[in-house]
Amino acid sequence: MVIEMNCLICVGAAERVMCEGPWEERDCPECGRYRISDELILALMDQGQIFDVLKTRGWLDTRRSEGFLPCIQCPEGLLVTFVEPT
Ligand SMILES: [Zn+2]
């Protein structure tokens, strides 16, 4: 079952893939397929942080080349603090 959603990394149109456990899974035409933990998504919204799109895609590619479905749980180094221009 697939639902149209936004990508959690680049915010483009992506498909939501239903998955087991405390994860959001997306299949994005730009970023590819990945999972992010629910806990992390809440923490990001709370702290006003967003993914560094290029760094995150690079990390996802590395994980895929190792044969894993990338699961982002502890995004050390992948985040930038989103600051509203004043
Ligand atoms: Zn994306």
> What spacing in Å lies between the alpha carbon of 65 and ligand 1's midpoint?
18
Question: What is this structure's pTM?
Answer: 0.84
The pLDDT tens digits for 9-68 are 999 999 999 999 999 999 999 999 999 999 999 988 888 888 999 999 999 999 999 999
Q: What is the pLDDT of residue 27?
A: 96
d(CA 64, CA 81): 26
- H or E element, residue 13: strand 13-17
> What spacing in Å lies between the alpha carbon of 76 and ligand 1's midpoint?
19
User: Nearest-CA neighbor of 10 among 49, 39, 59, 52?
Assistant: 52
User: Nearest-CA neighbor of 19 among 7, 3, 8, 32?
Assistant: 3
> What spacing in Å lies between the alpha carbon of 86 and ligand 1's midpoint?
27
Segments making up each domain of the chain, as ranges: 2-81
